[in-house]
Amino acid sequence: MNQNLKSYIPQAALDQVDQLLLDDCLEVVVKKARKTRHGDYRKLKNGHHQITVNSNLNTSRFLVTLLHEIAHYEAYKTYGSKIKPHGKEWKMTFQRLALPFLRPEIFPNQVLPYLAHYFKNPKASSDSDVQLSRVLRELDPPNEKTYIFEVEEGAKFKTHNGKLFRKGKKRRTRYEATELQSGRLYSFSPNAEIELIKDRNE
């Protein structure tokens, strides 16, 4: 295993992860933080395979993301390239890889029940599971981030791409918001990071 990678993974999981990364055709690269993804997997032109994971993730989220991407690689090896990216083959592979890691030596006790629930039917992103995403976020160092579920209906906010919105109502699991420039209606995950815009007269 890449020595640099060890600092991002829970100590108790190192040997297990090392066994999953023995393949010389598979490379793991730690990347700077990306807004749109925690990690990704792709087959390179030279026939090798590359996984990337963001460097700003806490060790629990980093491990979940790494296993997610390793599952893509293993599913590709087992079932070929014509399967759906997050179809049943990937789900089964992800479940099989993750199960041995669901131990209190590796993940904090408060996270384990949410992980167990998530792995019953894993989604394309762990952020799709709002409760799991929140409990993983609680492991992050204190920060100044604001999330859309925390602000009041009618509040104005800015997203990472600079667009301005006004928060609307909650519809089932997501929040509506109107883009101020175009008037278009968008929906946001409750855990979407935003920058709250305060009116000057407040």
Nearest to 174 by CA among 156, 187, 193: 187
**pLDDT for position 198:** 80
Q: Give residues with Cβ within 8 angstroms of 112, minimum separation 6.
A: 102, 104
Q: What is the pLDDT of residue 145?
A: 77
What span, in angstroms and rounded, lies between the C-alpha atoms of 87 and 75?
Answer: 10
What's the pLDDT at 128?
84
**In order along the chain (202 residues), what is the average pLDDT of each group of 10 residues?**
86 96 93 90 95 96 97 96 96 97 97 96 89 91 83 93 94 92 93 82 50
DSSP, res 152: P
Q: What is the pLDDT of residue 28?
A: 95
What's the predicted TM-score (pTM) here? 0.83
